[in-house]
Amino acid sequence: MKNRYIKILMMCLLIVAGACDKFESNLPSTPEETVKEIDGTWKISKVTRNGIDITNLMDFTKFRIRFNTDNTYAIDHYLPFAVKSGGTWSLDDPQYPFNLELTESDSGETLITAFNYPVVKGKRQIILSFSPGCKNNIYTYAFEKTSEN
Amino acid sequence: MKNLYKINRKWLMAGFSGLLLAGILFFSCVYLDSVIYDSTLKANEEATFTVNMHIVSNEDRTTRLILSFLAPKSWNAGEHTKITYVDTYDEGVLKSMSLIPLEQSPLNEAGLTWGEAMKKYFGVGLNVLDDMEWVTYQSDEIYNVHNGDNQSAVIKIVTRVGEENMRVKLSFFITMGEYSLSSADERYFKIENTDCIEVVDGDETLYTDFCEAHFNSVQPSGLTKDDIVTFKFQGEIAPNELDDTNEIYLCAKAFTTAYREYAVTERTAKTRMKIESGRTYSLTFWAADYFGIPEGEEILRVEYYFTNADGSLSVKQTYETGEPDTWFLSMFNCK
């Protein structure tokens, strides 16, 4: 009877030890942060000027910015923005970006804008802040992806 | 079972009372006793504001003193302010405060700077225009505040007044350390607004009245042609010629660095102002696009007035001296 209990106990220990070993070997120790994929066409969903929402005060609906996978970008229906013309883009860190760098093709001028990449109401957004006019005025554009090419 | 219920209820009440007591007792009350300032300031000169405050603490904690003040953006107060103070912790020792770094957010306001969070909760104080900013400092010294402390401080804020003549109401805010701005409990912080302060001897063409609403306003006040600008007609200020119409148009001319004039005086969908509320109408546009300003030219000023659909009625700048009405003036100035 005593031997039977010992056998059962040993079997349980083996199962537990085996399970633990298998569990440890299959799970990564830290989850990998995804690379921020911004390629595609984006439209404006919200605009603030110095923290005040001005989205409904003028027509921002036509503005488009298209980020291509070859790190070029293009702007349609321009409005005051960080840059005035198309060029190339890059993030300061593909996984944990704080800034988006935009370099205009024609002028060669590079502008760095604060970059945020939240999910708002289930939709991925790009939020960029910049001063296209007077340096005291900070504009923040929130973009949502469109299905347009 | 009844006894068990009684015991549980007794413990529940005791626990609840304890929590309540902790809530009442374990905080530091902050008091802003007074703000001393001159009611008239000179443009381009330093101005001194003295804040008298004290705290009464019912807890031991390690914290910093935080002071935020609301000033016109054009003063660029973050770069032109020096704050020193003396306190009763160390009598006679002159201490200093430094700007809170942009990456440091208030409690529960992750992602917001102190300036953004202050604007979120306290707006632009008692002013009617938005071109104001909260500039926030913290004591360089980290305090070990003890239960029972009743200490005071006299804080001197020396800031450079901007170049524009204006009327403005400043605000001063103090707190200790890490209290949440969203708290409705004002024991954690105090805010005090000044009366309307007049800035004189500066540039009169850039005059801005933050204290009182007028028929016209242009926001933001610092502008270039590449800004998005909002022209506003505030018809509720006083009876006026446009009281009986809901179709209000902006009639404007931009004057540029190339000595050219770009007029948009048509009364079409482009110039029709949108109703905001009551008798307030606004028109928001990208200035360069609206006036058709070419590359290489900058807008120096815009002259404008408000009119009805057929242009027969208008609201312009009036003068108490009886001079003829003129167009309103907005200087496009960015410094």
- The model's pLDDT over A93-114, given as tens digits with 9 standing for 90+, comes to 888 888 999 999 999 999 998 8
For chains A and B, count residue pairs whose Cβ atoms are closer than 8 Å: 57
pTM over 0.90: no
The answer to ipTM > 0.90 is no
* pLDDT level of residue B218 (50, 70, 90 thresholds): very high
> Would an 8 Å CB–CB cutoff place B224 in contact with chain A?
yes
Give the model's confidence band at B22: pLDDT under 50 very low, under 70 low, under 90 confident, else very high.
very low
DSSP 8-state code for residue B236: G
Inter-chain CB proximity B223 and A79 less than 8 Å: no
List the one residue out of B291, B298, B241, B296 whose CA is nearest residue B271.
B291
Pairing of strands A72-76, A99-104: unpaired
Q: What is the pLDDT of residue B7?
A: 41
Residue B320 — pLDDT band, cuts 50, 70, 90? confident
Work out whether the CA dihedral B196, B202, B205, B206 comes out positive or negative.
Answer: negative
| Neighbour tally for A33: CB within 10 Å | 10
Q: Are strands B203-209 and B46-57 parallel, antiparallel or unpaired?
A: unpaired
Residue B8 binned pLDDT confidence (cut-offs 50, 70, 90) = low
* CA–CA gap between residue B112 and residue B102 (Å, rounded): 9
List CB contacts (< 8 A) between B116 and chain A.
51
Chain A nearest C-alpha distance from B69 (Å): 17
* CA-based radius of gyration for chain A: 25
Q: What is the mean pLDDT of chain A?
A: 84
Extract the tokens encoding B208.
């801005």
Residue B334 CA to residue B305 CA, distance in Å, equals 23
Rounded to 5°, angle at Cα A47 from A46 and A49? 155
State the nearest Cα–Cα gap between B7 and chain A, in angstroms.
Answer: 43
